[in-house]
Amino acid sequence: MNVAQIKCLAVFSIFAIIGFGPVSPGCLIGLYIVALRPIWFGKLVGDLYEKPFQKGANFSPKIITKSRIKTFCVLFCLLLIDIAPVPVTPTIAFLIILSKPLWFYLNIKHIYGDK
Protein backbone atom coordinates (compact mmCIF):
# COMPACT_ATOMS: atom_id res chain seq x y z
CA MET A 1 0.00 0.00 0.00
CA ASN A 2 1.37 3.42 -0.92
CA VAL A 3 1.03 6.80 0.79
CA ALA A 4 -1.71 8.00 -1.58
CA GLN A 5 -3.82 4.94 -0.79
CA ILE A 6 -3.44 5.51 2.95
CA LYS A 7 -4.42 9.18 2.61
CA CYS A 8 -7.43 8.35 0.43
CA LEU A 9 -8.58 5.61 2.81
CA ALA A 10 -8.30 8.06 5.74
CA VAL A 11 -10.36 10.71 3.93
CA PHE A 12 -13.05 8.25 2.87
CA SER A 13 -13.18 6.82 6.39
CA ILE A 14 -14.09 10.30 7.59
CA PHE A 15 -16.61 10.59 4.74
CA ALA A 16 -18.15 7.28 5.82
CA ILE A 17 -18.59 8.60 9.35
CA ILE A 18 -20.05 11.99 8.41
CA GLY A 19 -21.90 10.59 5.38
CA PHE A 20 -24.85 9.34 7.40
CA GLY A 21 -26.67 12.60 6.72
CA PRO A 22 -28.63 13.56 3.63
CA VAL A 23 -25.57 14.74 1.67
CA SER A 24 -22.63 12.61 0.55
CA PRO A 25 -19.39 14.61 0.61
CA GLY A 26 -17.65 12.00 -1.58
CA CYS A 27 -20.25 12.39 -4.34
CA LEU A 28 -20.18 16.17 -4.15
CA ILE A 29 -16.41 16.21 -4.51
CA GLY A 30 -16.69 13.68 -7.35
CA LEU A 31 -19.20 15.88 -9.18
CA TYR A 32 -16.86 18.84 -8.71
CA ILE A 33 -13.95 16.81 -10.12
CA VAL A 34 -15.90 15.72 -13.20
CA ALA A 35 -17.19 19.23 -13.86
CA LEU A 36 -13.97 21.24 -13.30
CA ARG A 37 -11.19 18.62 -13.63
CA PRO A 38 -8.76 20.07 -11.06
CA ILE A 39 -5.06 19.35 -11.56
CA TRP A 40 -4.65 17.98 -8.02
CA PHE A 41 -6.97 15.04 -8.72
CA GLY A 42 -4.97 13.95 -11.78
CA LYS A 43 -1.84 14.03 -9.63
CA LEU A 44 -3.61 12.06 -6.87
CA VAL A 45 -4.65 9.35 -9.35
CA GLY A 46 -1.07 9.18 -10.64
CA ASP A 47 0.20 8.79 -7.07
CA LEU A 48 -2.47 6.20 -6.30
CA TYR A 49 -1.54 4.10 -9.33
CA GLU A 50 2.18 4.79 -8.79
CA LYS A 51 2.76 6.11 -12.28
CA PRO A 52 2.80 9.64 -13.62
CA PHE A 53 -0.65 10.70 -14.74
CA GLN A 54 -0.72 11.86 -18.32
CA LYS A 55 -3.85 13.22 -19.84
CA GLY A 56 -5.43 11.13 -22.56
CA ALA A 57 -4.59 13.43 -25.45
CA ASN A 58 -5.40 10.74 -28.02
CA PHE A 59 -9.09 10.63 -27.09
CA SER A 60 -11.64 12.32 -29.29
CA PRO A 61 -13.79 15.08 -27.81
CA LYS A 62 -16.80 12.79 -28.24
CA ILE A 63 -15.24 10.09 -25.99
CA ILE A 64 -14.24 12.69 -23.41
CA THR A 65 -17.71 14.23 -23.30
CA LYS A 66 -19.38 10.81 -23.15
CA SER A 67 -17.14 9.72 -20.24
CA ARG A 68 -17.76 12.93 -18.34
CA ILE A 69 -21.54 12.66 -18.77
CA LYS A 70 -21.64 8.99 -17.73
CA THR A 71 -19.45 9.59 -14.69
CA PHE A 72 -21.48 12.63 -13.67
CA CYS A 73 -24.73 10.61 -13.95
CA VAL A 74 -23.30 7.72 -11.91
CA LEU A 75 -22.10 10.09 -9.19
CA PHE A 76 -25.45 11.87 -9.14
CA CYS A 77 -27.25 8.52 -8.75
CA LEU A 78 -24.87 7.60 -5.93
CA LEU A 79 -25.66 10.95 -4.31
CA LEU A 80 -29.36 10.02 -4.37
CA ILE A 81 -28.69 6.49 -3.08
CA ASP A 82 -26.49 7.84 -0.28
CA ILE A 83 -29.52 9.54 1.25
CA ALA A 84 -30.25 6.11 2.74
CA PRO A 85 -28.66 5.44 6.14
CA VAL A 86 -25.92 3.26 4.60
CA PRO A 87 -22.95 5.16 3.09
CA VAL A 88 -22.57 3.52 -0.33
CA THR A 89 -20.05 5.87 -1.93
CA PRO A 90 -17.26 5.40 0.68
CA THR A 91 -17.66 1.62 0.37
CA ILE A 92 -17.21 1.80 -3.40
CA ALA A 93 -14.30 4.21 -2.94
CA PHE A 94 -12.59 1.77 -0.52
CA LEU A 95 -12.81 -0.97 -3.15
CA ILE A 96 -11.39 1.28 -5.87
CA ILE A 97 -8.58 2.57 -3.64
CA LEU A 98 -7.54 -0.91 -2.52
CA SER A 99 -7.89 -2.78 -5.83
CA LYS A 100 -6.84 0.06 -8.20
CA PRO A 101 -8.83 -1.25 -11.20
CA LEU A 102 -7.64 -0.36 -14.68
CA TRP A 103 -11.12 0.82 -15.73
CA PHE A 104 -11.01 3.60 -13.11
CA TYR A 105 -7.62 4.85 -14.31
CA LEU A 106 -8.78 4.80 -17.95
CA ASN A 107 -12.00 6.60 -17.08
CA ILE A 108 -10.05 9.37 -15.35
CA LYS A 109 -7.80 9.62 -18.42
CA HIS A 110 -10.92 9.98 -20.58
CA ILE A 111 -12.33 12.68 -18.29
CA TYR A 112 -9.06 14.64 -18.32
CA GLY A 113 -8.46 13.96 -22.03
CA ASP A 114 -8.57 17.50 -23.38
CA LYS A 115 -7.52 19.39 -20.26
pLDDT in tens, 34-82: 999 999 999 999 999 988 777 656 788 898 899 999 999 999 999 888 8
pLDDT in tens, 11-24: 999 888 876 667 78
pLDDT in tens, 69-88: 999 999 999 988 887 777 78
* pLDDT at position 41: 94
Looking at every residue in the chain, the average pLDDT score rounds to: 87
Return the closest-CA partner of residue 26 out of 13, 35, 43, 42: 13
Residue 84 Ramachandran class (φ > 0 left, ψ -120 to 50 alpha, else beta): beta
